[in-house]
Chain A
């Protein structure tokens, strides 16, 4: 059996996706596999993914990274959630925090009791029952404690970091473990005659690199998956009309916040991602509704501080490659598709692709069953995330611009309609097939975007009302007290993971969330 093992893995493209793949694949060195990463200094990388979600900690742990060291070396900060400003209507804001809301009682979800008593004016804001949300608003941070009896065990977190520094960090990791980086620009891809598999890629200067498994991390172009294999691209622009972004790094105003902020603007939204040395800003917009110049002016006007570089434009079309694994090529990152980083899923999708590839790792026979299963799982996951992102646009009361009116009136996928209707009826949420976003996430965004349940779950009436009322009354102040006792985010960073020199910071590119 082992004589059919893959011996030669070629990763095409550096950047976040390429180096994440390289770092993860490095462990296959023990089976004797050779891992080569091809990267060209001529081609700039798009640092998609400065803001992340909690599963990245599992990826870092799998690699055995020291978290404090990694945060320090990537100018990183901690993230407890995302604040959405002006999304449901102008002047409104809500938090989509990590971690759970309150505590379930008698197998009935906490928010059902909240709905019941909120209607009677006997409950605080939903966010006041979530420690991550409360701590985020107070600018506090610490890591969760393991003891499940402590409220501090309900904390959950991710990171903001400079994606190009993250790639560099993983490059050092991968190279130390035997991954070979080769400099050079891919000029041609050679296919095998008998089955159309990729046999080799050719670099400028007549260098030929053979491989058995190719991982395409070449970005939007999809050098292998699209240009060589003509896999095809399915666009989702009818639901996600934003097709451009303009990114601009700026100085920070004050200490870094422990959360990402997303502000809805006239024709899209602007991210604000706090790093230790600066703030990442960028406007994701629809070119049909806004000119590039207007977008850049708006991005600068809404930045956290003074611009540190020229605005940089990125064009994209929301959607996905028709097959993420085609023949002996697996596409990761932008080569596989694009979903705007509204919920910070870009790096997660890379990571999820890598872990699926490990679970279904082929041998040289490339059993087609494996690619079929990989593609089925990937399609499902992308569609689930797509629906969650569409929800932010669809469920809005804004009608102050053509863009928002168009979003509000657009037809959305049937799968999303069902979720919204079910929630509107009784506040119920069902998670499908290992869905990435939990009940708490859907709850935060549905309510935050103004989808109001007509009724609460009747099972909430089986628990004694006085008990629930007093639990609700005690819980919010208890959570607030716990949050107030946490260290300030900036103090936590200074104590554990402050960036070293900072001399290299000016070089780092403004990157997307």
Chain B
């Protein structure tokens, strides 16, 4: 063990990614050993990419907020946020005009035979089964209802989960208060240029007022322009354009007084798609499309990732590390997993070659597997006759994705790899929604006659329908939380 000195960490970017980093690192690292400050870019927040002022998240955000010590109820109340039970997709698949991917379980096993294997048996016998008919989250979402799930594993109300719909500006406020309370220092004057040391590391950030902020470790949360890891350190970019060719975005938001739906909606369009994320007093709207197939104007971007998210003494976060279309509500999730990974590998000194190598190995796996999940939806699209969609359907796909599809077609199984964000059931649900059917189901399902399986399915559906119908309307639930708060205050 060598002597310990205090390291200075400088974060560039005052958006969601930068303030999430500030709040997380300042809360987790011992203040005796690290000093943390944040420098702004002087630009609007595009730290998660050019996809607009609202974000939908995965259920994993709850764990992150617990770790941060961020009160979720207060965040929803004061940040005008909404709850999310999943995502509805329209116009993507020829097998289902609209399908819903819920957060939570689908169906229930019969004597340890999994639900989707039972469904395989029913379908082989000529029956039709739609997975989302057997999910509390999907049913409640359709009814516009929401309440937090129960902990009691005996209740059907414990079988779902939820994410959040956040208005980014307000979310930043919550993260900033937390970070400042943990002692993070914010510089008022914006960033101009990075200074390098003799050996080529980042040495400091020069600000508009002439001051230079020195540091030992830098976090680049400056969005797709990646002004530290890209501009200053010239780390290369690995493009995913061959598989994910969308390269323009138009983001807007509008006010509304309609109670928000507890799900976001993503609709496929002739040359791309459109996403609507509802929160309490507005909706975020983003159009994503491919410039090769339309003359429409928009903010340019390129899907892909930084070759090394940790280069020298700089770690990239958010869109500075990777631009990932928000088709799967992963933008904020990726910031969180990167921060968790960074904390597991946080350097204790100025030498951190081994940590950087491991960080990059894990980051690369996570991003490439997520890339595969995104490609799947394009590859299996059902929009025949539209040039953009025909082109993405014909494109070659990465080998690990081809393997997943092939094994699912063969046996109904999806081999998970290190770095996979989504579970086997989520892969299976998406493949199923796009009409991919395994050639064989589990022979154990043959133990039941189709009538027995049908009766089981009917019973499951009836219990779930009843449970979902008993939940409050999402708008009422949000209003009740506000009233309760007022009464306490």
Interfacial residues, chain A to chain B (CB-CB below 8 A) = 1-2, 4-5, 31, 115-116, 119, 359-360, 363, 367, 369-370, 372-373, 376-377, 418, 421-422, 424-426, 428, 430, 432-433, 454-459, 461-462
Contacts and interface: CB of A to CB of B under 8 A. Distances in A.
Given A360-B411, A433-B417, A458 B29 contact: yes
Nearest to A460: B30
Nearest to B445: A1
Contact of A428 (B28, B345, B349, B411): B345
B418 A432 contact: yes
A115 B355 CA distance: 18
Contacts of B349: 455
Contacts of B418: 432-433
Interface stretch (B235-243, B282-290, B300-308, B402-410): B402-410
Interface in B2-17: 2
A432 B346 CA distance: 19
B387 interface: no
Contacts, number: 95
Contacts of B417: 433
B112 interface: no
A456 B30 CA distance: 13
A454 B124 contact: no
B357 interface: yes
B348 interface: yes
Interface in B329-380: 343-349, 351-355, 357-358, 361-362
A373 B1 contact: no
Given A367-B410, A422-B358, A462 B28 contact: yes
A462 B29 CA distance: 6
B348 A458 contact: yes
Given A432-B418, A459-B346, A369 B352 contact: no
Contact of B1 (A4, A433, A456): A456
B398 interface: no
Given A369-B407, A370-B411, A373-B407, A425 B354 contact: yes
Contacts of A456: 1, 348
A368 B463 CA distance: 41
A428 B358 CA distance: 10
Contact of A425 (B33, B352, B362, B403): B352
Contact of A459 (B343, B358, B407): B343
B410 A369 contact: yes
Given A31-B443, A421-B357, A459-B29, 7 more contacts: A1-B440, A1-B441, A367-B439, A370-B407, A428-B345, A430-B362, A432-B418
Contact of B403 (A31, A360, A372, A428): A372
A454 B349 CA distance: 10
Interface string B382-412: 0000000000000000000001001101110
A262 B403 CA distance: 41
A425 B1 CA distance: 10
B415 A373 contact: yes
A455 B358 contact: no
Nearest to A422: B354
B446 interface: yes
8 contacts: A1-B446, A373-B403, A422-B355, A425-B354, A428-B344, A455-B1, A458-B33, A458-B34
A422 to B, nearest CB: 5
Closest 10 CB pairs of A and B: A461-B30, A425-B354, A421-B354, A369-B406, A367-B410, A455-B348, A458-B348, A119-B1, A422-B354, A433-B418
B197 interface: no
Contacts of B362: 430
A421 B352 CA distance: 10
Interface of B: 1-2, 28-30, 32-34, 124, 343-349, 351-355, 357-358, 361-362, 403, 406-407, 409-411, 413, 415, 417-418, 439-441, 443, 446
B413 A359 contact: yes
A253 B273 CA distance: 76
A369 B354 CA distance: 36
Nearest to B400: A376
Given A2-B446, A359-B413, A461 B358 contact: no
A313 to B, nearest CB: 41
A370 B415 CA distance: 11
B223 to A, nearest CB: 28
B1 A454 contact: yes
Contacts of A432: 418
Given A422-B355, A426-B355, A458-B30, A363 B345 contact: no
Contacts of A116: 1
A458 B5 CA distance: 11
A457 B355 CA distance: 11
Contacts of A428: 344-345, 355, 358
Contacts of A119: 1
A456 B33 CA distance: 13
Contacts of B33: 458, 461
A370 B351 CA distance: 45
Max chain A CB contacts within 10 Å: which of B33, B403, B440? B440
A47 B343 CA distance: 47
Most buried by B among A359, A458, A462: A458
A378 to B, nearest CB: 13
Contacts of B439: 367
B403 A369 contact: yes
A7 B345 CA distance: 52
Contacts of B355: 422, 425-426, 428
Given A418-B354, A422-B355, A462-B29, A457 B441 contact: no
Contacts of B357: 418, 421-422
A458 B124 contact: no
B443 A5 contact: yes
Contacts of A433: 417-418
A369 B409 CA distance: 10
A1 B418 CA distance: 32
Contacts of A115: 1
B336 to A, nearest CB: 14
Given A370-B411, A426-B355, A455-B349, A461 B32 contact: yes
